Amino acid sequence: MKKKALVVTNQRYQGYSTFIAECGFEVHETLTPEKVDGYSLVHFIGGGDLAPALYNEAQSRHCSGVNIERDKKEARVFYMAKDAGIPMFGICRGAQFLCAMNGGKLIQDVTGHGMENHGVEIQNGKHFKVTSSHHQMMVPGGEGFKVFAFSSKNRSSRYIGGDEKEMGVSVLPESREVEAVYWKDTKSLGVQWHPEWMKRSDLGWLVVHEWVKKLGDIK
């Protein structure tokens, strides 16, 4: 019997659900579940920018597509999954959401990552190309996080915060641009790139596919 995964959406965008299904899960979609019991994975998808209130920052003029009602609904699901000990996985905005909910924050505007494929480096030193479509960046916080991937090289010419001031690359772990993070305490994995846009033969797809399969096995 396949393990069940909840994809937190009412948008009917199939790319995310297809990828989760390809990781071996039976997929169920809803933005407002009554409960999360019985799921082995909860997946948060991409979309517009988070409301900076989630990470206690003012909103920069660079923010776009903010949907506070969506943030509230997703926060409810996050706490349900956290309380139940269910692993969580986020792509792009979903990764940034998990970063905020785990005590981190976002750089509210960066360059060099909007619809530009680029290299990343994972823990074992492997480098490969990934898809990229974001203008904000995870700054992990809280305890027990581990960076799974960095950009192969820093690409942004600026790192703008909620006060419109330059934050600088030094706010990032090892002063490197973060691409994937795991938070042990909440069993949360955030991946900034889009594996669902990639070929199944691409390393950027294969690596995340393996991570998510392992994530679903965590008890």
Q: Hey, what domains does the chain have and what are their CATH numbers?
A: 3-216 (3.40.50.880)
What tokens were used for 194? 């889009």
What tokens were used for 188? 């949360």
14-71 residue pLDDT tens:
799 999 999 999 999 999 999 999 999 999 999 999 999 999 999 999 998 999 999 9
Q: What is the mean pLDDT of residues 150-169?
A: 95
- Predicted structure pTM score: 0.96
Q: Give the per-residue pLDDT at 16.
A: 96
Banded pLDDT at 218 (limits 50, 70, 90)? confident
- Calculate the average pLDDT of the chain: 94
